[in-house]
Amino acid sequence: MSIHTVARMSFAVAFSLYVTPLLAQSSSVPSDYRLVWSDEFNGNGLPDPQKWVYDTEANKTGWYNNEKQYYAVKRVETTKVENGKLVITARKERLTTASDYGGQAYTSARLITRGKASWTYGYYEIRARLPCGAGTWPAFWMLGPDEIPWPDNGEIDIMEQVGNAPSKITGTIHTKATEGTFGVGGETTIRDVCGKFHTYNLTWTPKEISIGVDERRYFGYQNPGKGTKSWPFDTPHYLLINLAIGGDMAGKINDKIFPVSMDIDYVRVYQKAD
């Protein structure tokens, strides 16, 4: 999920030399990796504050990509842990009493690990059941250090999907070299993402980034060896999970879908054992 609006363009042909087809490859935890961080979402109530913080930086000014939601903080109506899952719910409502209210007609949530945990390289798994309905835009993604401006810090979109095309799952990277485009990525089709849980995954090494779902990796991007402009992925990145509403990618919103939820079973991070 690009944090800034970019011009609509198909995945850049100029980077085709570094993109590898991975349609038939298995995607499971590498045998020489170990679990270093996870949230299994046990218990009840709000998400664990030792692992997650709420991102609200653009509530007042309006969110990127012309999104229409207000991201609420510590509110079980939008984020709650129950029955072993994290539930993020978008609602049609106006939180006019909030100090950073920016006029939005919808609420949702955006959880991040910034300041709590970040990683360089590894294997990442997020098992989730996605929402459906015109206007929804869930995403699992990673960003590099905030002191480096976007897109120079590097963005890895592990999973994006929109309710207007619910079966299409996309994975994308954004760098300084892809600025002004929709990044470089790939897509796959999963017919039942709204009815069943699927595992979305990222394998990130010094040489390559590959993205998949369940037992298939469908996109790979090789390190071209030309420096940080095209490979800003040798620095710690933190995780983001959010459910956006509307915007450039999600399009028209159907108000009849609300409330609409995304259920997350777990988030796990593995790294190569020493």
Of the candidate CATH numbers 2.60.120.200, 3.40.640.10, 3.40.50.2000, 3.30.460.80, the domain formed by 13-18+34-198+246-272 belongs to 2.60.120.200
- Under 8 Å between Cβ of 129 and 195: yes
pLDDT digits (tens, 9 = 90+) for 148-189: 999 999 999 999 999 999 999 999 999 999 999 999 999 999
Return the structure tokens found at 97.
Answer: 């009493």
Q: Which helix (H) or strand (E) holds 199?
A: strand 198-204
Return the structure tokens found at 93.
Answer: 């409502």
Q: Which helix (H) or strand (E) holds 6?
A: none
pLDDT digits (tens, 9 = 90+) for 238-256: 999 999 999 999 999 999 9
For residue 13, what pLDDT is reported?
Answer: 35
For residue 27, what pLDDT is reported?
Answer: 54
Active site residues: 155, 160
The pair phi, psi for residue 141, each rounded to 5°, is -155, 175
Percent of the chain with pLDDT over 70: 91
Q: What is the mean pLDDT of residues 132-157?
A: 97
Per-residue pLDDT band at 1 (split at 50, 70, 90)? confident
For residue 28, what pLDDT is reported?
Answer: 82
pLDDT at residue 199 is higher than 90: yes
Put simply, whether the predicted model's pTM sits higher than 0.85 gets the answer yes
For residue 19, what pLDDT is reported?
Answer: 66
Q: Exposed, middle or buried, 138 (CB in 10 Å: 0-12/13-18/19+)? A: buried
Task: Single out the residue of 214, 267, 213, 266 nearest to residue 83, CA to CA.
Answer: 266
Residue 45 CB partners (closer than 8 Å, separation 6+): 76, 80, 81
pLDDT at residue 21 is higher than 80: no
Per-residue pLDDT band at 26 (split at 50, 70, 90)? very low
For residue 17, what pLDDT is reported?
Answer: 45
Per-residue pLDDT band at 11 (split at 50, 70, 90)? very low
Phi-psi domain of 49 (left: phi exceeds 0; alpha: psi -120 through 50; beta: other)? alpha
Cβ neighbours of 89 (radius 10 Å): 22
For residue 7, what pLDDT is reported?
Answer: 35
Distance in angstroms (rounded) separating the CA atoms of residues 20 and 254? 37
Distance in angstroms (rounded) separating the CA atoms of residues 104 and 22? 40
Per-residue pLDDT band at 24 (split at 50, 70, 90)? very low
Q: What is the mean pLDDT of residues 90-106?
A: 98
Per-residue pLDDT band at 130 (split at 50, 70, 90)? very high
For residue 3, what pLDDT is reported?
Answer: 60
